[in-house]
Amino acid sequence: MSQPAVAKRYALALFQLATEKQMIDEMQDQLQIVEEVFAKTPELMDVLTHPKITIERKKQFVSEAFAELSPTVQHTVLLLLERHRIQIVSQMVQEYRFLANEVRGVADATVYSVKPLSADEKRAISQSFASKVGKHTLNISNIVDKSLIGGVKLRIGNRIYDGSISSKLETIHRGLLAHRS
C-alpha cells in the first residue's frame, strides 16, 4: 500500500478516536507538535530509521520526546515506529488536519502577494473566497512573491484564483500574439 494511503488510514483512525472522545482540536494541536518536532529536527528521522539502533531504544527515545502528549498520540507514533512507517508522520498529520477542517467547514489556503498581508486583508480574503469553495472560513498562509507585480494569487486545494497583475499581463501578451498571426 502506498504511503499516502497508509497515512490516510492512520489519520482516519486517529480522527475517529478524537471524535469519540470529543478531542478533535486537542488531538490536532498535539499532532501539530509532533509534526513541528520532526520538521525542526531532521536528525530525529535519521535516528528513528537507523538500522543499528534497536527498536527498544527508538521507542524509549520517542516516549521521552513526546512524554507530555496524550497516550493516544504517543501510541500512534510508537505504532508507526514499530511498523517501520515513521516516515509518514507528516503526511498523517496533514491528513488529520484535512479531516478536522472538513468537519469544521474550514479549508487551508495559500495566498501569494507582493507584500505581507495584514490580519484584516486575510480576513477579507477568507470571507470573499470561503463561500466559493463551500466552506465557512479559510486558514490563510501568506507567501510573499515579488514576481506578481501586484494583486494576489490564491490556492485552495487544487483550485487557483489568479488576480495578479503578472497573470493579467501574460494574458494580454498571449492575446496580442494570437491576433498577430
Q: What is the pLDDT of residues 117-174, one digit of tens each?
A: 999 999 999 999 999 889 999 999 999 999 998 989 999 988 999 988 888 888 898 9
> Which residues are within 8 A (CB) of 55 and not within 5 positions of it... i.e. 6 or more apart?
81, 82
Residue 115 has phi, psi (to 5 degrees) of -135, 160
User: Percentage of the chain surpassing pLDDT 70?
Assistant: 99
- pLDDT of 110 strictly over 70: yes
- pLDDT of 4 reads 87
Cα 106 to chain centroid, rounded? 13
Of the pLDDT bands very low, low, confident and very high (cuts 50, 70, 90), residue 181 is low
For 3-101, CATH gives 1.10.520.20
Q: What is the pLDDT of residue 137?
A: 94
Task: Domain ranges for the chain, please list them.
Answer: 3-101, 106-180
Burial class, 108, CB count within 10 angstroms (exposed 0-12 / middle 13-18 / buried 19+): middle
